[in-house]
Chains A and B, each alone.
Chain A
Amino acid sequence: MRPPIDLALSRITKVYPGVVALQHVSLNIRGGEIVGLIGENGAGKSTLMKVLGGTIAPDGGAIAIDGESYDALTPSEATTHGIAFVHQELNTFANIDVAGNILLGREVASSAFRLLDQQAMTREVRPILDLLGARFRPVDSVADLSLAEQQILEIAKALSMKARLVIFDEPTSSLTLSETERLLDVMRQLKADGVAVLFISHRLPEIESVVDRAIVLRDGKNAGELARDEITKDRMVEMMIGRNIGRNKHHHVPARSEPALRIVGVKTDAYPSIPVDLTLYAGEILGLAGLVGAGRSELARAVFGVDARHAGEVTLNGESLAPNSVAASIEAGLCLVPENRKEEGLILDFAVLDNISLPNLGKLRQGWFVDRRAEARLGAVSTEMLAIKASTLQGAVSSLSGGNQQKVVLAKWLATDPKVIIMDEPTRGIDVGAKGEVYSLMRSLADRGVAILMISSDMEEVIGVSDRVAVMSAGRVTGILPPEDLTEQNILRLAVG
């Protein structure tokens, strides 16, 4: 074992055009301790981790490892010092066995023909797996391992590189309860062996149960630190928020006439055993908040019909919606502005006009043919209404800015004359100006009686734009907040479950 690490980040600053991602952030950690790093989405955790991993260079501050000081690390320096990551997304190869995965790129080979030396690889890997208490063998197929076991495999990989600091980035968001327990045990084991563990998680109960101290980030700054005996869920939530977001003056409770969209007992692929109920009224914007992995997008996809709906009923203005049929949903007046603009929302190489007309061809047809004049008219009307900045509607939509691309997605759906719109992260990756335009468009649609379900992980957006907010956690709707209770604190409390 290598000597324990002593790492200190001091006054790290990172500025992106228009955004200060990190401002004088400090963090220190030594071998043999578990430190929690918490903060809301966008608090700067991932940027800080990229600084540690050497993938981005900070604009200010210093990194000291075992007394050696750096302005910035390179990825290979980070590895040499024994910094390793275990990400939420797994990087395992199902077609290579356990030992091969752990030693990928560092395979043990015979000197003569570079043949793989399976036995030597097994010998090298076995003590690491024993240390982690793994219940699988070096020769096992990775395809047969559970998610948690694959995560342990990733940890083994980190240890095989003589890691002295293992950073866990949201490792538990896709694990079951007992798997999570095992992972936390592994962390304790690492700590006992003198390894430093940095644990990033949204799940505060886990932080509470395992860390020695917790460092809180907020808006790219240090918001404080909690020692072992100070850690409580309330203290952590309080520190993560630390500010009061001004309430939106728009908030008005629309007259509850008939529900526009009614979701009853719907089960999704992600949480097949949990039925979800949700009701959306005409003329309101219902925010749907929750942490990543809470099952919000999955719910939207199942309701819209892109993914299988396993049970339950969806009614739109009283009429039952056929399951698993996007065409039927659009016909009935439901549409989904998907989370993933570039893959699901648009065909990037297609012209702006072709993208807008795609779900509307049913209305734009003359017999078999596309009525190209009507199509051009639709394009002109849409670009004018949404102020889409495109030099020509015949150009590929990929050449537009993010904000204009999102407007094209909105244009294509608004042309279907929807009664209910589900928007999944409608302003992700677009600039502030375009955000404002999207918000005012949403409000004017709501004023005209359209019901909008807005999934968003941006707390300011959720509170600023919504009339009511439903919160999901681990597949369940844990609460619905009326306008008077719309505070960040209330939302976060429901979201962490």
Chain B
Amino acid sequence: MQKKDIGLAILVLTVAAAVAALNPRFLSPINLANTANLIGLFGLFSIAEAFVIVTAGIELSVGSVIALLGVLFVDMIVNQGIPWPIAMVVVLVLGAVIGLLHGLLVTRLKLQPFVVTLCGLLIYRGIARFYTADGTAGFSFGDEFPWLEWLVSGRTSGVPHSIIAFSVVAAFSWLLLHRTVFGRHLYAVGKNEEAARFSGIKTTRVIIAAYIICAVLTALSAIFFAMYTRSIHPASHGNFYELYAIAAAVLGGFSLRGGEGSIVGVVLGVILLQVLQNLVNLLGIPSSLNFAVMGGVILIGVIADTQFARYRSARRQAAALASLRTIAGTRAD
């Protein structure tokens, strides 16, 4: 674990302890399970976002993709009568196609990731609303998909399956980012694309792969959210989720300039954001202040991080100077 991650973990524990002390209901099994469920749901697409951010890119269409693919998924299994495993595969493949498209636009046409995915944000949201004629896609009374429901929104001895899925994805992502050759290439491309190219890394492929991974994980998350809300209003479903994901990644130590951050960090970032949300609910803070609390904490966290880094480097320099002086002193004697 990096030093940054340890600092963040301490922050998460402190906030959690404070909430628990102020309202013991925080530790009730029901509240813990609910919070865990939300961590799982929001964590999936936050990890997705991290893959793109590490390449110095950004993915703004996360929320819209969750809405569009969620609508399509529900429509396929409810109205078109397509078996849900097939619908699931179709949704994941569609995700991959969206990711590939974004990756190609960014690498081949050299468009800025911000612009490409901003257009995606608008386009997918628009299609989702058009597809349902701005209505709601949901399950009618009597629609039952027991296996699917158990798999996606069920619990095993109290543990929501969403957080199990999140843990599995996080573990695989950790291996992929921190232990594989591909992961090393991702960090290299994000930090210095030119030097990576000089080292024989096929930077275009690496970047496209990052967008595909991101979009496929987002598609997976779309299925979980569809089954969680059970009724999708495409005008608002998934709104702002991309910003939530970016916030979690930034809290977790990812730099928007690329090449930095760890999966442990983004996981902790997701947990912190959910605990904060929980704090707002449990401490009776008006829920309208929700975003303000989140924004404030992120800002404080980022300021503390940079100040601490500056303090550390100043201390290192002072130590180096002092040791130089000692050497000079002993020489003079």
Taking Cβ atoms with an 8 Å cutoff, the residues of A that contact B are 306, 326-327, 329-330, 336, 338, 343-350, 354, 357-359, 361-362, 364-365, 368-370, 372, 412
Contacts and interface: CB of A to CB of B under 8 A. Distances in A.
A350 B201 contact: no
Interface in B148-193: 175, 179-182, 184-185, 187-188, 191-192
Interface string B197-213: 11111100000000000
A327 B200 contact: yes
A357 B199 CA distance: 10
24 contacts: A306-B198, A326-B197, A326-B199, A327-B200, A338-B198, A344-B198, A345-B198, A346-B192, A346-B195, A347-B192, A347-B259, A349-B260, A350-B187, A354-B188, A358-B188, A358-B196, A359-B199, A362-B181, A368-B182, A369-B179, A369-B180, A369-B181, A370-B181, A412-B199
Contacts, number: 66
B134 interface: no
A370 B195 contact: no
Nearest to A344: B198
A358 B199 contact: yes
Contacts of B185: 361
B198 A349 contact: no
A191 B196 CA distance: 49
B196 A370 contact: no
A330 B179 CA distance: 23
A329 B198 contact: no
A368 B200 CA distance: 18
Contacts of B195: 343-347
A9 B182 CA distance: 59
Given A306-B197, A329-B200, A354-B184, A349 B191 contact: yes
A342 B192 CA distance: 10
A354 B202 CA distance: 17
Given A347-B195, A348-B192, A350-B188, 4 more contacts: A343-B192, A344-B194, A368-B180, A369-B180
A60 to B, nearest CB: 28
Nearest to B195: A347
A306 B196 CA distance: 11
Nearest to B190: A347
Given A327-B202, A329-B200, A370-B179, A361 B259 contact: no
Given A348-B192, A349-B259, A350-B188, A368 B198 contact: no
A350 B185 CA distance: 12
A138 B67 CA distance: 52
Contacts of A354: 184, 188
Contacts of B191: 347, 349-350
Interface of B: 175, 179-182, 184-185, 187-188, 191-192, 194-202, 259-260
Contacts of B200: 326-327, 329-330, 359
A345 B188 CA distance: 12
A358 B201 contact: yes
Contacts of B175: 369
Nearest to B176: A368
Contacts of A338: 198
A362 B187 CA distance: 16
A361 B181 contact: yes
A336 B195 CA distance: 11
A185 B260 CA distance: 53
A338 B197 CA distance: 12
B250 to A, nearest CB: 18
Contacts of B184: 354, 357-358, 361, 370
Nearest to B182: A368
The 7 closest A-B pairs by CB, nearest first: A359-B199, A326-B200, A330-B200, A327-B200, A347-B192, A358-B199, A361-B181
Contacts of A349: 191, 259-260
Contacts of A370: 179-181, 184
A306 B201 CA distance: 11
A344 B185 CA distance: 15
Given A330-B200, A347-B188, A350-B188, A368 B181 contact: yes
B3 to A, nearest CB: 13
A369 B176 CA distance: 8
B179 to A, nearest CB: 5
A349 to B, nearest CB: 6
Contact of B196 (A329, A347, A362, A412): A347
A105 B101 CA distance: 44
A160 B298 CA distance: 50
Of the listed residues A348, A361, A365, the one surrounded by the most CB atoms of chain B closer than 10 A to its CB is A361
A243 B141 CA distance: 97
Given A347-B188, A350-B191, A326 B181 contact: no
A248 B197 CA distance: 36
A412 B201 CA distance: 14
Q: Which of B180, B188, B197, B200 has the most CB of A within 10 A?
A: B200
A357 B175 CA distance: 18
A357 B180 CA distance: 13
A239 to B, nearest CB: 39
Contacts of A327: 200-202
B215 to A, nearest CB: 21
B321 to A, nearest CB: 16
B32 to A, nearest CB: 35
Contacts of A369: 175, 179-181
